[in-house]
Amino acid sequence: MVLKDKRQIDKNRHFFQSVGHALEGIKKLILEERNFRFDLIITLIVLCVGLLMRIAIYDWLWLFAAFFSVIGSEVLNSIVENVVDLIVGHHFDLMAKRAKDIAAGGVLLSAIFAVIIGALIFIPKFIELINK
């Protein structure tokens, strides 16, 4: 008997198949998650400002730590939201709300971390630029 449904249910056969699935996930994040797109736009703006300000390599390290902290927590938040919605559907459940709120709180904490890093790097640069 031939299966009509050809969706994959087994493990990936090779590395490039895994990469393909990962790229599909990133594509879904970009297309379906507004906050993920916002995070990417802010990241691009900060990258451009960093290039214009010619920040030092150690500042880039901190900025990239902040970028990936926010983007990573946004990905985890999206996973939690999708899994919770899969389980409870469109019904209110206090534990589902709690899980979603905690995941969103994780994103907020990493965003605060990123703002602090950005302020520590860019405020002195802007002050230096103004005082010239």
> 100 a known binding residue?
yes
Q: Using alpha carbons, select from 46, 113, 108, 47 the residue that is nearest to residue 74.
A: 108
> 81 a known binding residue?
yes
> 101 a known binding residue?
yes
> 39 a known binding residue?
no
Residues annotated as catalytic are 74
> 33 a known binding residue?
yes
Q: Over the range 72-83, which residues count as b (16 or more CB within 10 Å of their CB) and which as e? A: ebbbebbebbee
Binding residues for substrate, by number, are 74
Binding residues, by number, are 33, 74, 81, 100-101
Binding residues for a divalent metal cation, by number, are 33, 81
